[in-house]
Structure 1
Amino acid sequence: MAKRGSRRKAAKKARKAASGKQPGKFARWAKRIVIWGGALALLGALFLGLAVMFAARSLPSYSQLKATQNAQTIVVRARDGSVIVELGPSFGQWLNSDEIPGIMKEAMISVEDRRYYSHFGVDPIRLTGAILEGMTGEKRIGGTSTITQQLARNVFLNSNRTLDRKLREAVLALALESKFSKEQILELYLNKVYFGGGAYGIDSASRKFFSHPATELNTAEAAIIAGLVKAPSRYAPTADVDAAVNRAKVVLRLMREQGRITAEQASVNVDTVDLRQESGQNSVRYFTDWALPQLDILLPETFEPIEVWTTLDVGMQRAATAAITSNAPSGAQGALVSLDRDGAILALVGGNDYVETNFNRATTALRQPGSSWKLFVYLAALEAGYTPEDRVVDTPVTIDGWSPRNSGGNYAGEMSLRSAFAYSKNTVAAQLGNEVGFGTVASMARRFGITTEISTFPAMVLGSSEVRLLDMTRAFASVSAMGASVEPYGIVKVTTAEGETIYERDKPRDVKLVPDYVAAGMTDLLQSAVQTGTGRAAQIGRPVAGKTGTTSSNKDGYFVGFSSGITTGVWMGRDDNKAVSGLQGGRAPAQAFSAFMRFAVKDRPVEKFDTDLKLPEWQLEPDDEFYFGDPDDYYYIDEQGNLIEPGRVEGPRGDGFPIEGETGPGEAERPRRPPEPAPDGAAPQAASDDFLDQATGGSEPPESPPPAPPPGQ
């Protein structure tokens, strides 16, 4: 019994020992985890402290941070000096902390960082809540950045949503908090944060959206500005007024819930806020998109604010926009370019609506110009010797298997070159192109500024090659300038914000493309096309010269013309190149041209075109001399049909003898034999016996006497 009891006691001890051993093992592992975890946390804190310390030491000073701009500001001015658009960031006036309205500070803290004054750069409560939400829900971890973190990101980092960037942002935020006071950080933030529309800082935003400085902000306006930070492009009043107002109401509610304003203040009617209206910003962007990239070539690399003085006329730009939108057929786009006589762009519209599509159809789109291309065909013909009065034949013709047809399928027969151009006869253009050479027509187009590929197949005379509207307008402007090259330009000068000129356009050298008489003849033809031809809809009550153009199936409509020193080109069509019902160059494009030009030239004197053909000598010979020659140069036929030898001038007796004392050119004076008398009733002999003998070899002319000795010898 004693042994059995001892065995039970031993087993019991063994069970106790076994049960006590297991808790000791878990305790040891728990202890190790706590120790290693604490060590790692301590090490992490040490590294974080070192990172923050080094970051704080490398941070710029407060004055340096105030002077730092994030990007370049560009102010674009019109022809009269008025501001038409501001691009890039606008920073406004820097406001010190005591100049910033208290309501603005409260609004920003309420919506962006309610515990701003209690955290040390990173909000642990907000961060922990966001992490737990991300672990338990499907939402992305976001909205954790404090005002200090946002400042660090705006000044030093980018907006990439990566873990590395978030860690750097947190370190820099802690460094900022260790180096600067809360008021300094809030001052930096409110003067640098982006509010949309190119506005950086509350003063710039206030001026842009409310037309007054930020020192005058009221509660509703402060709520609108504070609400923009979350999504500037979505909530900006210039983009969506309703979205901006609704967001401001959210800000006011948060301010009231946090006790920063009273219920009465929170009930302010945001809908009554007077927002600044921006007019004319739509179509102007087509011009700035074309002109401003040229600054990369015109200017040395600079990041300081600049002002760009342009050629754009604000009134003409509005008129051009209205002319296009009111005349473009349904479903079609329109474009317009207007040049002054020196190439300055007065108006440029690249489409019906820049917000809808910023594709620039005036400077980028390649479309067929139709019959407006005949400008180059007739320029080549005039240079080759044709005049507007010359007779041509409108008749069916086939060239290398190609048979052009006139609009309507009619043929008028013989007509003047002027009429053929005015009525845009395709068969005549084809004959002229074939005669002067299609390569010659292509060379003429190149000479007048066409930069795109040009076909030299016969159909090219009807405008089958695609061109830019700007290039075609330039070509017509060169005709208006009497054949002198015109180079379009949009930038006159560039200055710094302080007014120092860093670029100014030099006048280009004069380049003559064709003689004056060719330009005058072409102007004559273009004027006829508007007076009596296909361009009658472009008339404006003063001299106008221009040409219509319509492509097959009415896919493109063109009109380009000039008056009083202004040249304007209009194109209409669909972006998908589908046909447009009723679209013809002589209708909607010509009507848009007329609507715009009536406004454009209203303050300019009426100018008559110089169409006098001061032809060169080789084109000035009278017909009888051209066919029969000059008697002083070679044999010719007189009015009676008689052959007259060189040097013979009809005498007063009408007998064919030279007048006494006159000789032929280069001939020594010598006796002549009169012709033999004719039998009674027969016609007199046409040539002298001397001539007949000389011509037939019947007798040799007498030797010339030896030259007389010089006087005095």
Structure 2
Amino acid sequence: MARARPASRPSRPRSSWRRRFVLLLKVLAGIAILALGALVIAIYIARAQLPSFESLKSSPNGQMIRVHAADGSVIVSMGPSFGEWLSYGQIPAVMRDATVAVEDRRFRSHLGVDPVGIARSVKVRFDRGRWTQGGSTITQQLARNVFLNNQKKFGRKFREWILAFALERKFSKDQILELYLNKVYYGGGAYGIDAASRKFFGHGADRLSLAEAAVIAGLVKAPSNYSPTADAEAAMGRAGVVLKTMAETGVISAGEAADADVQGLKLAPEPKQNSVRYFTDWALPQLDTLIDETEAPLEVWTTLDLSMQRDADAAIRANAPAGAQGALVSLDRDGAVKAMVGGKDYVSSIYNRATQAVRQPGSAFKLFVYLAALEAGHKPEDSIVDEPVTIDGWSPRNDSRRNSGAVSLRTAFAYSLNTVAAKLGQEVGFTTVADMARRFGITTTVNTHPSMVLGTSEVRVIDMTRAFASVASKGVAVTPYGITRVTANGQTIYTHEVDRSHVLVAPYVAAEMTDLLQTAVNTGTGRAAQIGRPVAGKTGTTSSSKDGWFLGFSSGITTGVWMGRDDAKPISGLHGGTAPARAWAAFMKPATANRPIEQFETQVTLPEWQLEPDEESYFGQPDNGQMMVDENGNPIEPGGVPDMPSDAPAGEPIPRPDADPSDQAPPVPQQQLNQDWIDRVTGRDAPRRDPAAPQPRAPQRDWSRESSRDRFQDDRPTQ
């Protein structure tokens, strides 16, 4: 009789694994049920707390903001639009359809948050490596605009989802769209479609055409980028995208989209603005991070000095070459922005070249090269050989196309010798120079190729000005700020506090750098910036005269000036020592007129007079240090040399009495300098002291000579 085979039993490990998996599923399901329940409760609590539809209609379209200058006068008023509230039925169908098509084509079907839109934005994020497409619905945008702010934090996003679900539970789709179209911001201070229509087209929104509706609907994504008054081409291009989307979604036909004459639209004339808007456009967005108040009217008190702003505007307009733009930033010793000019005309271009544009600084970047060298132990009077040098196949050359042999660091900086800057950069390390630039507030990418010492990395005007201000502040970091105080309903809700605790370099390093900068203005490439009181500064010129810079400080004010074309084309005759230096001086003379004259805490030691350095300094020639390399730092063959005046001393040009010293012709190579004539030009022909008479002693520095690189290592930003 056959023995019955025992029934097979599942292995214990497998049974244990199944039990654990089932248990995990149950736990997850329980958590999901609890989370869903909590979400539903939160939604209905939010729904109960929402204002009524009539209350939301009567609330102001945005927040009223009055901006005050330093003297208390109101310079800009921004706030609720003066457009009329349009009911859903009064809003043209083309406006409703255009908005839904381009902002939220699934608006009529989702519950407030669109999972499909979120998934699509996440996919685009992974495909392109950055967030380029948002997943917010119209309801979410309404919740954010009315109840929240624009901070990109998960907590704010979660509250936005809750409010979006609550809005959908309380109001109909038509009511939500009505609220949205009457409250959303369209740029230029216009809230709601009626205000936008009146601002851009000069009539109410109830008469919007298809083309006009497409333009306004396209503004929501980026009001400043697509504003018709700021960039008509970008606005029309965006309107074309809106029309194409409307055709794809079927709200208009392809023929109607083609017949919409976007290019033929006539814009309403823009009210006259002035350059203070460059400042307010930079300062006001900072309110989102400074305060949480989004409803109460605000009074914003700023650092802007209206007199200095007018002088800055006039200096840029008067000195910027034809076809070129100019930018200026002026900081007080604590970082307060006293003046800011982002271009020659705000009405024609709202692009702020002082804070947004990135351009090569040329030899002005040598500030960081010499700071690194001084911190490493060099002194201004140290000797270094000006000689041909090749680094990794790159051979920089001086503008004079010759070398002067042994020179001091002070001489090399004053005359902007490229070979010396290259040797210093190689000695201290190009990474160290880049680190110094970042330490002093350069926020753009700094390359570490050898040519970087001549300013081939792009920077912002405000960042470079900040760096020079930190040198003027004896090595303590200076952070630009524009808002001093904010009040709401008479109560102060924000007050700026200046932080003086961040030390960048030792005081003696900053003093030695000031020594070099002062010599560059007194005897070197920045002579056009002299204003009758102590000035420390540096010129900068990029290849083919594409950019001209002058940055410097005097009597507690630091100012940076840049000039160039927006398309980066060369500008004949533009050098740092010409138009930018003249504009700097034209601004700084009245800016410092009512301030006491301040001597720097270092004596100006003039360069060795027996030396034959780069002649541009004696004759006031501009700083052409970067003229001899292209954008990649490769050498450029110099052009021809103009003829010299016949009345110059043997082999030397002489400046015309009525000409700016920075505009003189380049010197002829291999010429011999007449020492007596040089002494007359530089004032060295004054009676000499009796050698036997007692000589005044220079003040002795009592700062520690130890390297601040060791003492302030933690202050360096990481790479």
Band the TM-score falls in, shorter-chain normalisation: 0.5 to 0.7
Q: Are 1:376 and 2:368 matched, yes or no? A: yes
Q: For 1:644-698, what per-residue CA distance to the aligned partner results, in whole angstroms no more than 9, with x for missing partners?
A: xxxxxxxxxxxxxxxxxxxxxxxxxxxxxxxxxxxxxxxxxxxxxxxxxxxxxxx
2:491 corresponds to 1:500: yes
The within-5 A match list for 1:503-652 is 503-611=494-602, 614=701
Secondary structure (helix, strand or coil) at the match of 1:86 reads strand
State the one-letter code of the partner of 2:96.
N
Aligned residues of 2:308 and 2:591 also touching (Cα < 8 A): yes
Query: For residue 296 of structure 2, what is the aligned residue in structure 1?
Result: 304
What does 1:221-370 align with in structure 2 at a 5 Å threshold? Answer: 281-370=273-362
**Matched position secondary structure for 2:275:** helix
CA shift at 1:500, angstroms?
1.2
Tell me the CA shift for residue 502 of structure 1: 1.5
**Alpha-carbon distance, 1:282 to partner:** 2.3
Summarize deviations over 1:450-497 as a string: whole Å, max 9, x none. 11111111111111111111110000000000000001111111111x
Choose 1 or 2 for highest CA Rg.
1
Alignment of 1:451 onto 2:443: yes
Tell me which amino acid in the other structure corresponds to 1:556. D
Residues 340-371 of structure 1: CA distance to partner in whole angstroms, max 9, x if unpaired?
10001111111111221211111111110000
Equivalent residue letter for 1:356:
S
Asked if residue 393 in structure 1 is aligned to residue 385 in structure 2, the reply is yes
- Write out per-residue CA displacement over residues 275-329 of structure 1, whole angstroms, 9 at most, x where no aligned residue: xx987x3211211121111111111151222121111111111111111111111
Query: Which amino acid in the other structure matches residue 342 of structure 2?
Result: G
Residue 70 of structure 2 is aligned to residue 79 of structure 1: yes
Q: What is the letter of the counterpart of residue 601 of structure 1?
A: T
Partner of 1:682: none
- Equivalent of 2:96, from 160, 181, 184? 160
Structure 1 position 160, deviation (Å):
2.6
Aligned-partner Cα distance in 2 for 1:437–1:59? 63
CA 1:306–1:88: 2 relative to 1, 3 Å? same
Distance 1:292 1:442 in 2: 31
Match of 2:455 in 1: 463
Structure 2 residue matching 1:312: 3-state secondary structure: coil
Does structure 1 conserve the Cα–Cα contact (< 8 Å) formed by 2:485 and 2:494?
yes
* Change in 2 beyond 3 A, CA 1:502/1:90: farther
Contact 1:389 1:418 (8 Å CA) reproduced: yes
Contact 1:561 1:569 in 2 (8 A): yes
**1:316/1:155 CA distance change after superposition, 3 Å:** farther
**2-side partners of 1:417 and 1:60: how far apart?**
73
The one-letter amino acid paired with 1:491 is I
Identical aligned pairs, as a percentage? 63
The 2-side partners of 1:538 and 1:154 are apart by 61
TM-score by length of 1: 0.54
Q: Give how far 1:616 is off.
A: 5.4
Structure 2 residue 411 is the aligned partner of structure 1 residue 419: yes
Where does 1:20-59 land on structure 2 (aligned, <5 Å)?
Answer: none
| Structure 1 residues 60 and 331, CA gap change in structure 2 (3 angstroms) | same
- State whether structure 2 residue 477 is matched by structure 1 residue 485: yes
What amino acid is the match of 1:425? L
> How far apart are residue 508 of structure 1 and its match?
1.8
How far apart in 1 are the matches of 2:423 and 2:386?
9
Determine if contact 2:508/2:704 at 8 Å carries over to the other structure: no
SS of 2:596's partner is coil
What code does the residue aligned with 1:597 have? M
* Residues 564, 90 of structure 1: alpha-carbon distance in 2 compared, 3 angstrom cutoff: farther
Question: What's the offset of the Cα at 1:198?
Answer: 5.3
Cα drift, residue 150 of structure 1: 4.0
CA distance change for structure 1 residues 587 and 491 in 2, over 3 Å: closer, same or farther? same
Higher relative contact order (CA 8 A, sep 6+): 2
The runs of 5 or more residues in structure 2 that have no matched partner are: 1-49, 102-107, 109-182, 213-227, 230-269, 603-698, 708-719
Distance in structure 1 (CA, Å) of the matches to 2:340 and 2:299: 20
Letter in structure 2 aligned against 1:397 = V
The 8 Å contact of residues 153 and 159 in structure 1, kept in 2 or not, is answered as: no
Counterpart amino acid of residue 296 in structure 1 = D
Checking the alignment, whether the CA contact within 8 Å between 1:335 and 1:362 is kept in structure 2 is: yes
Q: With structure 2 as the length reference, what TM-score do the two structures score?
A: 0.53
Q: Which secondary structure does the structure 1 equivalent of 2:486 belong to?
A: strand
Identify the range of structure 1 (350-359 vs 536-545) with the bigger mean alpha-carbon deviation.
350-359
Query: Aligned to 2:540, what secondary structure does the other structure show?
Result: strand
Separation of aligned partners in 2, 1:151 and 1:311: 42
Alpha carbons of structure 1 residues 487 and 158: separation in structure 2 relative to 1, 3 Å: farther
Conserved in 2, the CA contact under 8 Å of 1:369 and 1:549?
yes
Give the deviation of 1:88 after TM superposition: 2.7
Residue identity in the other structure for 1:576? D
**Residues in 2 aligned to 1:423 and 1:153: alpha-carbon distance in whole angstroms:** 72
Contact 2:334/2:498 (8 A) holds in 1: no
CA contact (8 A) 1:70 1:155 kept: no
> What is the SS of the residue equivalent to 1:160?
helix
Change (3 A) 1:278 1:85: farther
How far apart in 1 are the matches of 2:316 and 2:484? 26
Query: Structure 1 residues 61 and 337, CA, compared in 2 at 3 Å: closer, same or farther?
Result: closer
Q: Is the 8 A contact 1:388 1:417 kept in 2?
A: yes
Paired letter, 2:357: A
The 3-state SS of whatever aligns with 1:489 is coil
SS at 1:603's partner residue? coil
The alignment status of 1:473 with 2:409, answered yes or no, reads: no
CA distance in 1, matches of 2:581, 2:499: 31
Partner secondary structure for residue 494 of structure 2: strand
1:601–1:432 CA distance, 2 compared to 1 (3 A): same
- The whole-number CA distance in structure 1 between the counterparts of 2:372 and 2:51 is 70
Task: Please say if residues 546 and 569 of structure 2, whose CA atoms lie closer than 8 Å, have aligned partners that are also in contact.
Answer: yes
The Cα of 1:154 is off from its aligned counterpart by 8.4
SS of aligned partner of 2:563: strand
Shift of 1:408: 2.6
Any conservation in 1 of the 2:546–2:565 contact (CA below 8 Å)?
Answer: yes
CA distance in 2, matches of 1:157, 1:307: 38
Counterpart of 2:448, as a letter, is T
- Measured in 2, the distance between the counterparts of 1:291 and 1:371 equals 30
- Return closer, same or farther for 1:397/1:484 CA change in 2, 3 Å cut-off: same
The Cα of 1:506 is off from its aligned counterpart by 2.3
What is the CA distance between 1:68 and its match in structure 2?
Answer: 2.2
Q: 1:288 to 1:61 in 2, by over 3 A?
A: closer
Distance across 1 between alignment mates of 2:348 and 2:319: 18
- Give the alignment of 1:167-182 within 5 angstroms: none
Of residues 454-463 and 392-401 in structure 1, the stretch that sits farther from structure 2 once superposed is 392-401
| 1:601 CA drift (Å) | 0.9
What SS does structure 1 have at the residue aligned with 2:283? helix
Give SS of 2:584's match.
helix
The residue number in structure 2 matching 1:702 is none
Change (3 A) 1:500 1:616: closer
Structure 1 consecutive aligned stretches of length 4 or more whose deviation exceeds 6 Å: 58-62, 152-158, 162-165, 225-231
Instruction: State the shift of 1:155 in Å.
Output: 11
